[in-house]
């Protein structure tokens, strides 16, 4: 059963990062208590870095049972893991190298692979093994963190991308094409919508227009297609990004 999305507006990027870190800590405690582990898909881009840095430092660092955390990625660029554009590198530097999460529980997407389709299939197989899912079944992540692009993309689900129509595969290669779509690898909408909880982390005045387009005008941008079927959808937004929202959206 779909629950109504919640939109929480925080004073500034630092407060938003703090709220996001708190959400991760709470989701981890609940999942580990109930299921013995916490499965998390990390977002890429710049915004989440502040949240990851908070999770890597006291007090939040010491409130997560890292030995029972399994970290996945929502998407990856077509670059090696040490490249400045790598989502893995950003998460590794800000968080994964600073907390005692077992290396065997960090599942990197091989963005650097020559054969992107093979890398997508490889990650899909890794997800199936990690979640014990069979062909046609979807992994249910405890929490998926997502960012929001100014064009309404999220993960590597871009406007006009054929990957938006993917209903079976869990991971897809995003081929650079006419619509200025970059070469990427991404979790697909079925996986995002199978999650127990999805949290968008949005900060900065440059996101105000797309947030209005999404939440007020309800445009069918890729981020609007993220709607967990049996889970929670949470927007953590700073005041600058929320500037064009009316009272109705600030639920």
Taking CB atoms, the residue at the shortest distance from ligand 6PG is 147
Site string for ligand 6PG, 144-183 (x = CB under 6 A): ---xxx---xxxx---------------------------
Of the candidate spans 44-52, 114-122, 161-169, 214-222, the one that interacts with ligand 6PG by CB under 6 A turns out to be: 44-52
Q: How far is the CB of 163 from ligand 6PG (least distance, A)?
A: 13
Q: Kindly state whether residue 213 participates in binding ligand 6PG, applying the rule CB under 6 A.
A: no
Assign 163 to helix, strand or coil: helix
Q: Which of 10, 23, 24, 45 binds ligand 6PG (CB under 6 A)?
A: 45
Q: Which of 13, 44, 139, 231 binds ligand 6PG (CB under 6 A)?
A: 44
Work out whether strand 184-187 and strand 171-174 pair parallel, antiparallel, or are unpaired. Answer: antiparallel
**Binding segment (CB under 6 A) for ligand 6PG, from list 19-27, 40-48, 61-69, 169-177:** 40-48
C-alpha dist (Å) from residue 161 to 42, 75, 104, 165, 167? 21, 15, 32, 8, 13
Examine residue 111 and tell whether it contacts ligand 6PG (CB under 6 A). no
Contact 199, 147 (CB under 8 A): no
**Contact flag: residue 87 with ligand 6PG (CB under 6 A):** yes
- Measured from the CB atom, the residue of 18 and 75 that comes closer to ligand 6PG is 75
Residues 46-65 that bind ligand 6PG (CB under 6 A): 46-47
What are the phi and psi torsion angles at 181 (to 5°)?
Answer: -90, 130
State yes or no: residue 75 binds ligand 6PG (CB under 6 A): yes
Collapsing DSSP to helix, strand or coil, 177 comes out as: strand
Angle at 170 between CA 169 and CA 172, to 5 degrees: 75
Q: Is the dihedral of CA 111, 114, 117, 123 positive or negative?
A: negative
Nearer Cβ to ligand 6PG (54/68): 54
Distance of closest approach, residue 200 Cβ to ligand 6PG, in angstroms: 9
Cα(10)–Cα(2) distance, integer angstroms: 24
CB 246 within 8 A of CB 216: yes
Of 139 and 147, nearer to ligand 6PG (C-beta) is: 147
DSSP H helices, the chain, are 13-35, 48-55, 87-91, 116-131, 189-192, 208-215
- Is 139 a binder of ligand 6PG (CB under 6 A)? no
Alpha carbon distance 166, 207 (integer Å):
26
Binding-site residue total for ligand 6PG (CB under 6 A)? 15
Min CB(62)–ligand 6PG separation in Å: 27
Which residues contribute to the site for ligand 6PG (CB under 6 A)?
43-47, 74-75, 87, 147-149, 153-156
């Amino acid at each position: 059963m779909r629950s109504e999305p919640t939109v929480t507006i925080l004073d500034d990027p630092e407060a938003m990062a703090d709220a996001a870190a708190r959400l991760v800590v709470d989701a981890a405690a609940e999942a580990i208590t109930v299921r013995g582990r916490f499965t998390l898909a990390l977002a890429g881009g710049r915004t989440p870095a502040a949240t990851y840095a908070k999770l890597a430092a006291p007090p939040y660092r010491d409130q997560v049972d890292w030995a029972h955390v399994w970290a996945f990625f929502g998407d990856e660029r077509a670059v090696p893991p040490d490249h400045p554009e790598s989502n893995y590198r950003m998460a590794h530097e800000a968080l994964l190298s600073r907390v005692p999460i077992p290396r065997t529980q960090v599942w990197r997407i091989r963005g650097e692979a020559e054969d992107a389709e093979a890398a997508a299939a490889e990650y899909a197989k890794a997800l199936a093994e990690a979640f014990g899912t069979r062909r046609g079944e979807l992994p249910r992540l405890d929490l998926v963190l997502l960012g929001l692009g100014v064009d309404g993309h999220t993960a590597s689900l871009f406007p006009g991308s054929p990957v938006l129509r993917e209903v079976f595969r869990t991971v897809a290669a995003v081929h650079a094409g006419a619509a200025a779509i970059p070469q990427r690898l991404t979790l697909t909408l079925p996986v995002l919508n199978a999650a127990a909880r999805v949290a968008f982390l949005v900060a900065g005045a440059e996101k105000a227009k797309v947030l209005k387009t999404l939440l007020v005008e309800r445009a069918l941008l890729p981020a609007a297609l993220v709607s967990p079927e049996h889970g929670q959808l949470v927007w953590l937004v700073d005041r600058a990004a929320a500037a064009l929202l009316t009272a109705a959206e600030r639920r």
